[in-house]
């Protein structure tokens, strides 16, 4: 049986995004293949509660004074010596990176590429970040034995922007936290509504509040509607634009901003929402859509890119720049109990392809196939 090592920096140190991806993937592999040996490599364990998620796993940190001081260099270069010492058969870079020189060893390498948004929308990133991402991702794609994209959209981008052969890139979707897969009781819902001071009915948006996520369009679309909007996510300068509009149109009581929720609280919030609205301009996948589908919440999202791939045939799709179209779509769902029920049931059925056991089996099949 192959010994598999993971780049676990994000697992232990990121609250969202790449951290959630890393934790969820390792969780489903450990749950479905408990006999498999996994080693987690990280410069530091960071957020305490994440160490508790892997009580029986082997965690490897830098050893030696130089590696402990220059942890970034250890992760991108000198870690190769540790991988050889530990007799790792497969090393998986979970966040678009693999160590330099790994291809000169007998260790098989896999890298997950989540998106290439920094190439498609360079104006959204600082030049230094774009340069760094491009260098790391391109190196990983060119030198890894296997590339895994989290969507067909990302696969197409990898092939196009990095000139990578199609056969080198496989798509394996990501799942979501188990919290979203359980039916919530009415008591759980009412407890959260009371705790957060929320209305009984609202539409929901989740994600960092930044221009690419396009939450402003939802606020504009509900300007003349009675339905409140709850926006959950880290606030940025873009939030000020939204709040200025909200104040100018006397919408303070109808647009609610939240952040810092636990995963369980977030999952309950999804289950309460009448509609989940996600008019993002571009994503590598769009995991909040999957969270909504598992929660039995109707979804409105963007009509291009990865979004139909994530949302399936029974979500509603709109032009993210067309405010009127979004407003009409919201009304169409709110005004039809039959439509809501159909979207809940069919959306949940579509989400089953992202179940843990299915994704875990796809990963183990891939690891076995590429093992040298």
Residue 329 has pLDDT above 90, yes or no: yes
State the pLDDT at residue 281: 95
> pTM of this prediction?
0.92
DSSP H or E segment with residue 214: none
Mean pLDDT of 25-48: 92
Q: What is the pLDDT of residue 351?
A: 97
Q: Which residues neighbour 355 within 8 Å (Cβ) at sequence distance 6 or greater?
A: 175
CA-closest candidate to residue 235, choices 215, 207, 209, 256: 209
Q: In what order do the strands lie in the sheet with 3-7?
A: 58-60, 37-41, 3-7, 90-93, 108-113, 146-149, 169-171
Question: Helix, strand, or coil here: 7?
Answer: strand
- How far apart, in whole angstroms, are the C-alpha atoms of residue 293 and residue 298? 7
Antiparallel, parallel or unpaired: β 275-278 and 299-302: parallel
Residue 75 has pLDDT above 80, yes or no: yes
d(CA 35, CA 31): 10
Cα-flanking dihedrals φ and ψ of residue 40, to 5°? -110, 120
End-to-end CA distance of the chain: 11
Q: Write down the H helix ranges in the chain.
A: 9-13, 18-32, 48-51, 65-69, 71-73, 79-85, 117-120, 127-143, 152-162, 186-196, 215-221, 237-248, 263-272, 287-294, 307-311, 323-334, 337-351, 356-370
CB 6 within 8 A of CB 92: yes
Residue with tokens 């076995």: 368
pLDDT-based confidence at residue 205 (cuts at 50, 70, 90): very high
Is residue 1 pLDDT above 80, yes or no? no
Determine the Cα–Cα distance for residues 188 and 295; give it in Å rounded to an integer: 14
Candidates 62, 89, 45; CA nearest to 369 is 89
Q: Reduce the secondary structure of 83-120 to three states and give it as a string.
A: HHHCCCCEEEECCCCCCCCHHHCCCEEEEEECCCHHHH
- According to the model, what pLDDT value does residue 141 have? 98
Could you read off the pLDDT of 76-119 as tens digits, one per residue? 999 999 999 999 999 999 999 999 999 999 999 999 999 999 99
User: With helix as H, strand as E and coil as C, how does 138-181 read?
Assistant: HHHHHHCCEEEECCHHHHHHHHHHHCCCHHHEEECCCCCCHHHH
pLDDT at 340 over 90: yes
Give 81: exposed, middle or buried? Use CB within 10 Å, 0-12, 13-18, 19+.
Answer: middle
273-297 tens-digit pLDDT: 999 999 999 999 999 999 999 999 9
Angle at 242 between CA 336 and CA 288, to 5 degrees: 55
Q: Is the pLDDT of residue 42 over 80?
A: yes
User: Are residues 216 and 191 in contact, defined by beta-carbon separation less than 8 angstroms?
Assistant: no
Query: What's the mean pLDDT in 138-167?
Result: 97
Overall average pLDDT of the 128-153 stretch: 97
pLDDT-based confidence at residue 223 (cuts at 50, 70, 90): very high
pLDDT at 271 over 80: yes
C-alpha to C-alpha distance for 23 and 52, rounded to whole angstroms: 11
Confidence tier at 49 by pLDDT (50, 70, 90): confident
Indicate if the pLDDT at residue 56 is higher than 80. Answer: no
User: SS3 of 70, please?
Assistant: coil
The predicted pLDDT at position 57 comes to 77
Average of per-residue pLDDT values in the chain: 95
What percentage of residues in the chain have a pLDDT greater than 90?
A: 91
pLDDT at residue 193 greater than cutoff 80:
yes
Q: What is the pLDDT of residue 47?
A: 80
What number is the average pLDDT over the span 20-29? 94
Shortest CA distance to 112 belongs to which of 348, 372, 359?
359
Q: What is the pLDDT of residue 16?
A: 81
Q: How confident is the model at residue 50 (pLDDT cuts 50, 70, 90)?
A: confident
Length of the chain in terms of residues written:
372
pLDDT at residue number 286: 92
Q: How wide is the angle at C-alpha 253 spanned by C-alphas 247 and 254, nearest 5°? A: 95
Report how far residue 23's alpha carbon sits from residue 8's, in angstroms, rounded to the nearest whole number: 9
- pLDDT of 8 over the 90 cut: yes
């Amino acid at each position: 049986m192959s010994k598999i090592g993971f780049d676990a920096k994000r697992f232990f140190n990121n609250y969202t995004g790449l951290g959630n991806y890393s934790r969820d993937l390792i969780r489903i592999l450990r749950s479905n293949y408990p006999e498999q040996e996994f080693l987690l490599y990280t410069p530091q364990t960071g957020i305490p509660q994440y160490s508790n998620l892997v009580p029986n796993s082997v965690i490897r940190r830098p050893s030696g004074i130089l590696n402990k001081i220059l942890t970034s260099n250890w992760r991108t270069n000198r870690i190769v010596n540790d991988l050889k010492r530990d007799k790792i058969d497969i090393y998986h870079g979970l966040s678009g990176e693999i160590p330099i020189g790994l291809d000169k060893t007998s260790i098989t390498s896999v890298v997950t590429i989540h998106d290439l948004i920094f190439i498609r929308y360079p104006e959204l990133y600082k030049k230094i970040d774009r340069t760094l991402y491009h260098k790391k991702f391109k190196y990983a794609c060119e030198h890894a034995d296997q590339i895994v994209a989290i969507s067909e959209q990302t696969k197409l981008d990898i092939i196009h922007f990095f000139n990578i052969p199609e056969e080198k890139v496989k798509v394996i979707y990501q799942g979501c936290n188990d919290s979203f897969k359980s039916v919530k009781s009415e008591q759980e819902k009412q407890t959260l509504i009371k705790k957060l001071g929320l209305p009984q009915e609202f539409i929901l948006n989740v994600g960092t509040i930044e221009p690419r996520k396009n939450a402003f369009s939802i606020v504009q679309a509900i300007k003349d509607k009675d339905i409140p909007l709850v926006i959950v996510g880290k606030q940025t300068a873009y939030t000020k634009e939204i709040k200025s509009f909200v104040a100018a149109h006397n919408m303070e009581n109808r647009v609610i901003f939240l952040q810092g929720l636990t995963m369980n609280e977030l999952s309950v919030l999804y289950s309460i929402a009448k509609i989940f609205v996600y008019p993002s301009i571009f994503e590598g996948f769009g995991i909040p859509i999957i969270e909504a589908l598992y929660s039995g919440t109707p979804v409105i999202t963007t009509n291009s890119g990865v979004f139909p791939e994530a949302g399936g045939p029974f979500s509603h799709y709109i032009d993210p720049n067309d405010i009127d179209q979004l407003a009409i779509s919201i009304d169409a769902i709110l005004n039809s109990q039959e439509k809501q029920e159909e979207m809940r049931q069919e959306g949940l059925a579509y989400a089953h392809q992202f179940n843990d056991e299915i994704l875990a089996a796809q990963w183990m099949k891939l690891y076995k196939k590429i093992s040298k």
